[in-house]
């Protein structure tokens, strides 16, 4: 019986799926992550069988009621080879809900033939004439908002995981995104991750922060020799990179747990992780990432910046079962601000109200 799998799709993910053997899997979903989440929710609610699911450390808590806790199922030989911090991110209320595939943090690519001095801070970037590309929608946009708030010294959740979106730092973060969007291509509010990479490769923008899995496309572009790589800009409180782990989970609706466990173990093995690493991704498998040899001086700098960012600048959201609702409300409101339909002040009010409603105790 073929395993029914739901896969996240895109240039930074699809290379790994070449390890599937003929007839081994039936792909029931293959889509970007927001679409994947919606499709999986519909399938599982309808009683459909899914054996292995691509998920993310920030989304797994919202899927906890569907997922099989993996403690005692996944062998120590598999987990011991993975970065402990990545494994910890995949836990919710003490249970391992998924097994990390890779760690995502971004680096800033700048056209050195267009930009004389790369901006080191968000303030320098806004004050410059540099045209920067960034996701104008969904999780990428909300993630940049999160980075900006934290780099200004603010927070979007307090110690009790209650929303604190209504703050001067949040208003300034939205205003910064609006200012950057005004000098970017007019269709930026429609961009997802792949469109940002394409805009950089096609020369439509002077700079863009890209995820590790986008490196293969960047390196093969005609502009690669003109690109310099830098850490993402910093703010008064420091430099932060919104991050997390793409991962594999086994739904409770799985029809072949042994087969699913075997597949997941193979998908995070050193051999599979090496496939991801060759595309530029940062595998959670420590040995596979340590074995990556830089292709040139630019790649060497990319890897160094990536390792430094993982070590000291990663930020993640608190594990919230209803986080996707907060994220959806957040990016939708910020997207309206990018389009000129909401002021930054009104935008953060909308996000705060939506977050309060999503996280309010039931009843």
CA–CA distance, 169 with 157 (Å, rounded to integer): 13
Distances (CA, A) of 202 to 195, 205, 224: 10, 8, 11
Count Cβ neighbours within 10 Å for each residue of 112-132 and write b for 16 or more, e otherwise: beebeebbeebeebbebebbb
Question: Is the domain of 250 the same as that of 214?
Answer: no
Question: Is the domain of 57 the same as that of 134?
Answer: no
Return the number of other C-beta atoms located less than 10 Å from residue 45's C-beta.
9
Instruction: Say if residues 227 and 133 touch (Cβ distance below 8 Å).
Output: no
Identify whether 300 is part of a domain: no
Question: Is the domain of 154 the same as that of 194?
Answer: yes
User: Tens digits of per-residue pLDDT, 290-327?
Assistant: 999 999 999 999 999 999 998 888 899 999 888 989 99
Question: Is the domain of 144 the same as that of 88?
Answer: no
> Both tokens of residue 351?
């996000």
Instruction: Say if residues 135 and 193 touch (Cβ distance below 8 Å).
Output: yes
pLDDT band (50, 70, 90) for residue 72:
confident
pLDDT band (50, 70, 90) for residue 359:
confident
Domain tally for the chain?
2
Identify whether 261 is part of a domain: yes
Question: Is the domain of 98 the same as that of 187?
Answer: no
Average pLDDT of the chain is: 93
In Å, the largest CA–CA distance within the chain is 59
- pLDDT above 70 covers what percent of the chain? 99
Question: Is the domain of 249 the same as that of 336?
Answer: no
Question: Is the domain of 24 the same as that of 84?
Answer: yes
pLDDT band (50, 70, 90) for residue 363:
low
Residue 110 clears pLDDT 70, i.e. is over it: yes
Look up the domain containing 201 and give its range. Answer: 107-242+316-359
Identify whether 204 is part of a domain: yes
Instruction: Say if residues 104 and 282 touch (Cβ distance below 8 Å).
Output: yes
What CATH code is carried by the domain that includes residue 7?
3.40.190.10
pLDDT at 311: 87
């Amino acid at each position: 019986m073929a395993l029914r799998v739901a896969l996240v799709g895109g240039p930074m993910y699809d290379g790994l799926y070449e390890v599937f053997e003929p007839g081994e899997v039936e792909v029931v979903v293959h889509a970007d992550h927001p679409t994947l989440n919606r499709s999986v929710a519909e399938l599982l609610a309808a009683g459909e069988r899914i054996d292995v699911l691509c998920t993310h450390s920030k989304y797994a808590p919202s899927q906890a009621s569907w997922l099989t806790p993996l403690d005692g199922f996944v062998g120590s030989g598999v987990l011991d080879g993975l970065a402990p911090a990545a494994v910890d991110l995949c836990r919710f209320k003490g249970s391992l809900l998924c097994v990390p595939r890779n760690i995502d943090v971004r680096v800033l690519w700048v056209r050195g033939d267009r930009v004389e001095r790369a901006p080191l801070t968000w303030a320098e970037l806004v004050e410059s004439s540099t045209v920067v590309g960034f996701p104008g929608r969904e999780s990428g946009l909300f993630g940049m908002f999160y980075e900006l708030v934290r780099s200004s010294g603010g927070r979007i959740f307090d110690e009790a995981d209650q929303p604190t979106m209504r703050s001067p730092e949040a208003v300034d973060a939205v205003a910064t995104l609006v200012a950057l969007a005004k000098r970017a291509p007019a269709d930026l509010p429609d961009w997802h991750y792949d469109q940002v990479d394409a805009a950089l490769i096609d020369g439509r923008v002077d700079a863009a922060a890209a995820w590790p899995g986008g490196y293969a496309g960047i390196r093969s572009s005609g502009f690669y020799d003109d690109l310099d790589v830098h850490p993402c800009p910093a703010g008064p409180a420091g430099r932060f990179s919104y991050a997390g782990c793409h991962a594999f989970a086994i739904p409770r609706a799985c029809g072949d747990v042994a087969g699913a466990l075997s597949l997941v173990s193979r998908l995070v093995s050193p051999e599979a992780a090496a496939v991801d690493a060759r595309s530029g991704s940062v595998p959670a498998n420590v040995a596979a990432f340590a074995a990556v040899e830089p292709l040139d001086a630019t790649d060497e700098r990319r890897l160094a910046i990536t390792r430094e960012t993982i070590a000291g600048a990663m930020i993640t959201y608190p594990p919230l079962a209803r986080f996707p609702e907060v994220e959806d409300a957040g990016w939708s409101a910020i997207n309206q601000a990018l389009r000129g339909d909401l002021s930054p002040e009104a935008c953060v009010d909308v996000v705060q109200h939506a977050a309060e409603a999503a996280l309010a105790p039931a009843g």
